[in-house]
């Protein structure tokens, strides 16, 4: 699976970009809003989701791990495919999606292309339990907080333990300070 690319933007098209990684060009589909923020020959790091089907292999790119994780979580809902999940993420941030699920507001999902009322209602039901993976209590995790979480999990700590430790860390700290303080909390 390809989960991250670091390279130079070679081509920008309305629905995808070609990212050159050491001479190999990867076609990465992304939301039109995200693609519009990119520039040709710009160096970029993309968090990707590699989707393999019977008839196609597609790579979807995102600015943050949180967006990629929400995309993959949306794909677990019966009736939501990659295009619909990307459409939902184009209309709302992961935090807004999590808030809609928590409040039972299916309208966000209904506005996405190819998502009907039954699928929107199913999304609310199926995502309720998975919501905890995407949020920190009632607050969606930001990209920086997610980076700290991933760093500590990669050191072998359990995600639940890390989340509890991060609740006790000053949000004004830098990423390095957050990691250091969270490690201190985990050592107690």
DSSP-derived secondary structure for 29-88? E--HHHHHT--TT-EEEEEEEEEE-SS-EEEEEESSHHHHHHHHHHTTSTT--HHHHHHH
Token pair in block for residue 87: 């459409």
Q: How far is CA 102 from CA 34, 96, 154, 169, 175, in A?
A: 26, 10, 29, 25, 28
With beta carbons less than 8 A apart as the criterion, state whether 154 and 146 touch: no
Nearest alpha-carbon partner for 186 in 162, 154, 151: 162
d(CA 126, CA 139): 20
pTM of the complete model: 0.69
Phi, psi of 23 (to 5 degrees): 90, -5
* pLDDT the model gives residue 139: 45
Q: How far apart are CA 162 and CA 185, in angstroms?
A: 9
Question: Quick one: pLDDT at residue 144?
Answer: 60
b/e map of 149-186 (b: 16 or more CB within 10 Å)?
A: bebbeeeebeeeebbebbeebeeeeeeeebbebbeebb
Rounded Cα distance, 148 and 167, in Å? 12
pLDDT in tens, the chain (188 residues): 889 999 999 999 999 999 999 999 999 999 998 999 999 999 999 999 999 988 889 999 999 888 998 999 999 998 899 999 999 998 888 888 888 888 888 888 888 777 888 988 888 888 887 765 444 443 445 556 667 777 777 777 777 888 888 888 887 787 778 888 888 888 76
């Amino acid at each position: 699976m390809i989960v991250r690319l670091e390279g130079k933007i070679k081509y920008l098209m309305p629905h995808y970009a070609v990212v050159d990684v050491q001479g190999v060009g990867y076609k990465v589909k992304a939301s039109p809003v995200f693609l519009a923020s990119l520039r040709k020959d710009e160096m970029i790091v993309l968090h990707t989701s590699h989707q393999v089907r019977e008839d196609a292999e597609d790579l979807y790119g995102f600015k943050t791990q949180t967006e990629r994780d929400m995309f993959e979580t949306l794909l677990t809902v019966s009736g939501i495919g990659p295009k619909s999940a990307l459409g939902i993420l184009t209309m709302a941030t992961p935090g807004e999606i999590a808030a809609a699920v928590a409040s039972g507001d299916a309208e966000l999902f209904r506005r996405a292309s190819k998502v009907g009322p039954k699928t929107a209602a199913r999304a609310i039901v199926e995502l309720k339990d998975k919501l905890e993976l995407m949020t920190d209590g009632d607050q969606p995790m930001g990209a920086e907080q997610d980076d700290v979480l991933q760093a500590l999990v990669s050191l072998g700590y359990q995600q639940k333990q890390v989340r509890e430790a991060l609740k006790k860390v000053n949000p004004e700290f830098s990423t390095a300070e957050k990691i250091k303080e969270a490690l201190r909390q985990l050592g107690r």
